[in-house]
Amino acid sequence: MPILDVQALSKSYRQAGGDTTLAIGNITCQVEAGEFVSFVGPSGCGKTTLLMSIAGLLAPSSGRVVVNGKEVSGPPPNLVLLFQEYNKSLFAWRSVLGNVRFGLAARGARSAAAESKARKLIELVGLKGFESHYPWELSGGMQQRVAIARALAYEPEVLLMDEPFGSLDALTRLELEDALLRLWAELKTTILFITHDIEEAIYLSDRIWVLSRRPSQIMQELKIDFPRPRHQVTTRAEARFMELRNDIYRQIGNQEVP
């Protein structure tokens, strides 16, 4: 049984004029436990809407989402969504430790055990020594690390990530991609990742679903079988990597690849 089962999901919005626009066409897909799967698609293709619907934060117009055998009607208890805007989703009034402890407390963990667990997670995302800092004292990349640690503290079976590295600079992004892969390998969480960065999707994922423009639909499923652990230089230099990249680009980009 897949841990995440999206069945004929569609979502339409009523616009100011009274017209309805279809944001998500008709999406059906399954994610197996422990997989790292990505949606990749052009900007404005309804990726965030799709993830919000899967996370139970938006009600779909039709279709349904089943997490671990249970139909989603509100935010499911074993799934957490990580937002792109770490500066908006982190709690400015809590320190790094406080933010991570929030994730533990939301899971029901309390007391001294929670404290040492939070410290361990902070170390795991590479922020040892910054426990008592407030989010505004950290760089964007470090803030997103805090958000990741907070999400992992909740011990979700499924972690949804909405373009988490989209607003970071290129080098920080590569660093965080590797950090995420290490955490994923260690904690064996299922990750559903959304990005508009084709290479990022290939580098990270076991499988990729290529999304069309609005109303978004899955155009193609690609299996990515580069061995793990992957490497930013060697994996990205493989001929097959280029092939995949060009293949996806042909589908979602406007330009012809010569």
Partner 1 sequence: MKRSQPFNWLGWSSFALLLAAWELIAWETPKLLLYFPPVSRILAALGDALAAGTILQHGWVTLGRFAAGYLLSAGLAVTLGVLLGYFRYLHGLLATSIELLRPMPSVAIIPVAILLLGIGDGMIISVTVYASVWPILINSIDGVRRVDPTLIDTGRTFGLSSWQILRQIILPAASPYIVTGLRIGLSIALILVTTAEMIAGSKGLGFFILDEERAMNSANMYAGIVVVALLGYALNRLFLLLESRAMKWRHGMIVRQTA
Which chain residues interact with partner 1 by CB under 8 A?
A: 52, 55-57, 74-75, 77, 79-81, 83, 85, 88-89, 91-95, 102-103, 106, 134, 136-137, 154
- Smaller CB separation from partner 1, 13 or 91: 91
Greatest alpha-carbon span in the chain? 61
The structure tokens 């400015």 sit at: 92
In a 10 Å sphere around its CB, with 0-12 CB exposed, 13-18 middle and 19+ buried, how is residue 18 labelled?
exposed
**C-alpha to C-alpha distance for 54 and 19, rounded to whole angstroms:** 24
- Smaller CB separation from partner 1, 85 or 247: 85
- Smaller CB separation from partner 1, 154 or 226: 154
For the bound state, the minimum distance from the C-beta of residue 217 to partner 1, rounded and expressed in Å, comes to: 25
Q: Which two tokens stand for residue 26?
A: 């008709």
For the bound state, the minimum distance from the C-beta of residue 247 to partner 1, rounded and expressed in Å, comes to: 33
Residue (of 102, 130, 127) closest to 114 by Cα position: 102
- Smaller CB separation from partner 1, 25 or 135: 135
- Smaller CB separation from partner 1, 25 or 156: 156
For the bound state, the minimum distance from the C-beta of residue 168 to partner 1, rounded and expressed in Å, comes to: 17
**C-alpha to C-alpha distance for 230 and 178, rounded to whole angstroms:** 8
For the bound state, the minimum distance from the C-beta of residue 85 to partner 1, rounded and expressed in Å, comes to: 6
For the bound state, the minimum distance from the C-beta of residue 99 to partner 1, rounded and expressed in Å, comes to: 10
Residues 188-214, buried b or exposed e (16+ Cβ, 10 A)? Answer: ebbbbbbbbbbbbbbbbbbbbbbbbeb
Q: Are 163 and 133 in contact (CB under 8 A)?
A: no
For the bound state, the minimum distance from the C-beta of residue 67 to partner 1, rounded and expressed in Å, comes to: 12
Instruction: Please name every residue paired with 103 in a beta bridge, in sequence order, or none if there are none.
Output: none
- Smaller CB separation from partner 1, 80 or 198: 80
Give CA separation, 232 vs 4, 99, 168, 228, in Å.
29, 30, 17, 11
